[in-house]
Amino acid sequence: MINAPRGTNDIHPPDTSYWQYIENKAHSVFNRYNYKEIRTPVFEYTELFQRGIGEATDIVEKEMYTFEDKGGRSITLRPEGTASVVRSFLENKIYGQPQPTKYYYLGPMFRYERPQAGRYRQFHQIGIEALGSNDPFLDAEVIAAGMNYVQELGLNNLKVLLNSIGCRECRPGYVEELKKYAAENKEKFCSDCKNRLKTNPLRILDCKVEQCSEALKEAPLILEALCDECEEHFRQVKTNLNRLEISYDLDPYLVRGLDYYTNTAFEVKYTGLGAQDTIFGGGRYNGLTEEIGRQSVPAIGFALGVERLLLTLKEQEIELPVETGLDVFIITIGEKARSRGFTLNQELRRAGVKSDMDYLDNSVGSQMKMADRQNAKYSFIIGGNELQKGVVTFRDMKSGEEEEIDIHNIVNKVQTYI
Ligand code: ATP
Ligand code: MG
């Protein structure tokens, strides 16, 4: 017996229907916002993530699935989507086309983490990236598209946390202030944060350890250190969210730890029934394209974890409207009827009817039970009698009513019923 690797999941029916539903919803909502799907490889050269995610991050420090291929190149299974999207945008010179470029993606991501509920080694993300514009209308659109997506899945108690982390002009000065503050209060921070002070000081702001949140209470705030341009951009983002009636809470501790992240940072949380689950999060990354290629292209996006979204939907007992039943189950008695049922099954399917039959040569009684178990709306019963008369007994599974219908008309007839 060989088991699946630790931290991976098989997704079985009926769960696959939920997956299809949320994937289909992503296609339909994001298409409505005029975002187009992009598909990039699930592996890339390791360097892309080292540069595109940054060395001083949990992902690059500890979580990457990296291996050497037969040609001796270092390859990494993608831990997130943005770096690949940006790589593709630059490599294919999409910036040469009219802008902005609005993409969405969905697919598996890989991180070597300690598996636990909601944390896997292969998991899935859905995200959007809008490249080629710094327009604060776009920041609001990206947040609105994400909100609309999860609202259409049935999540309604949502809270947007919003911050601006400035730009390369104003942030360095702020980071110096923060470092100074943290150095003066060093003993109050956790050991990870003491390290972060050297590698990625902004990251101490969103440390989840309680002593650090306490230690940060008196710390300088980035929102008070923004340059005029960043302040104006942020003001407009807020105005645009107001225009869309999307309410938000300012969270000055919400950061993205890396230099190429700029301006808007946000997180959307579900707050229903005692929950505080992050559903998606993202922000602007006006400096990232320069990190990966030569062009400077402003951009903004978010990513959403599908497994955690499903956990929240489940915990909140939000049912997704997925239809799994059959239209027709064909019940046959005897070898001849079975052969006729077999060809009728194909005719039904070609006519757009969802149908099935028994493949274990079961008794009529068990075939009836199967029709029930499969949630069939109707069953077609074909026995010697029906064959002789050229009819099918058409049974409404709910009411139990039966009528005989000409076998040549049955496909047309059932089409009008479904
Ligand atoms: P966390 O703080 O939980 O480790 P993160 O900051 O690493 O999350 P991001 O890199 O922002 O997460 O990824 C976006 C989303 O992807 C997360 O909000 C989460 O829903 C999902 N996600 C991240 N890592 C995993 C994982 N190992 N398994 C399942 N989902 C994950
Ligand atoms: Mg993580």
**Average pLDDT, integer, range 64-89:** 98
The confidence band for 379, taking pLDDT boundaries of 50, 70 and 90, is very high
The least confident of 99-103, 184-188, 286-290 is 184-188
- Checking if the pLDDT of 52 tops 70, the result is yes
Give yes or no for residue 195 CB within 6 A of ligand 1: no
Min mean pLDDT across 59-68, 153-162, 200-209, 291-300 is at 200-209
**Which of 256, 282, 315 represents a domain boundary (last residue)?**
315
Q: Assess if residue 45 is contained within a domain.
A: yes
Cα-to-centroid distance, 287 and ligand 2 (Å): 22
The atom number, within ligand 1, closest to the CA of 282 reads 11
Residues 159 and 239 in one domain: yes
289-341 pLDDT, tens digit per residue, is 999 998 999 999 999 999 999 999 999 999 898 877 999 999 999 999 999 99
pLDDT over threshold 70, residue 12: yes
CA 122 to centroid of chain Cα atoms: 13
User: Quick check: is 363 in a domain?
Assistant: yes
Picking from 315, 350, 372, the residue at the C-terminal end of a domain is 315
Give the pLDDT mean for 210-236: 94
Total of domains in the chain: 2
Q: Does the residue 34 lie in any domain?
A: yes
Domain, as residue range, for 82: 15-170+226-315
Residues 376, 240, single domain; the answer is no
The residue among 383 and 272 whose pLDDT is bigger is: 383
Closest ligand 1 atom to residue 111 Cα is 27
Q: Ligand 1 atom 23: the closest Cα is on which residue?
A: 305
**Domain C-terminal end among 271, 291, 315:** 315
DSSP designation for 222: G
The answer to whether residues 59 and 121 belong to one domain is yes
Residue 243 shares a structural domain with residue 381: no
Strand pairing category for 277-284 and 402-406: unpaired
For the segment 225-241, the average pLDDT, to the nearest whole number, is 98
43 and 78 Cβ atoms separated by less than 8 Å? yes
Helix/strand/coil for 23: helix
Q: How many H-runs (helices) and E-runs (strands) does the chain carry?
A: 15, 16
Query: Would the pLDDT of 257 be above 70?
Result: no
The answer to whether residues 248 and 337 belong to one domain is no
CATH number, domain of 150, equals 3.30.930.10
pTM: 0.93
Q: Measured in angstroms, how far is the CA atom of residue 79 from the centroid of ligand 2?
A: 10
305 and 362 co-located in one domain: no
Q: For residue 357, give both structure tokens.
A: 């039959």
Cα of 368 vs centre of ligand 2, distance in Å, is 50
CA distance 307 to 313: 10
DSSP symbols for 225-237? S--HHHHHHHHHH
281 is a domain residue: yes
- The pLDDT > 70 percentage for the chain reads 99
C-beta of 267 in contact with ligand 1 (< 6 A): no
Calpha distance 255→299 (Å, rounded)? 16
Task: Examine residue 337 and state whether it is found in any structural domain, yes or no.
Answer: yes
CATH code, domain carrying 395: 3.40.50.800
The model's confidence at residue 132, banded by pLDDT at 50, 70 and 90, is: very high
Q: Indicate the pairing of strand 65-68 with strand 74-77.
A: antiparallel
pLDDT tens digit sequence for 335-372: 999 999 999 999 999 999 999 999 999 999 999 999 99
Q: Is the dihedral of CA 13, 17, 18, 22 positive or negative?
A: positive
Has residue 222 got a pLDDT over 90? yes
Among 100, 13, 108, which residue's Cα sits nearest to residue 65?
A: 108
Placement of tokens 């400096």 in the chain: 287
| 219 falls within a domain | no
Does 186 map to a domain?
no
For 172, other C-beta atoms within 10 Å of its C-beta total 12
Q: Decide: 192 in ligand 1 pocket, CB within 6 A.
A: no
Instruction: Determine, yes or no, domain membership for 354.
Output: yes
Please compute the mean of the pLDDT values over residues 251-256 and round it to a whole number. Answer: 90
Same domain, 148 and 280: yes
Please tell me whether residues 129 and 164 are part of one structural domain: yes
Burial label for 105, CB within 10 Å (0-12, 13-18, 19+), is buried
Do 309 and 332 share a domain, yes or no? Answer: no
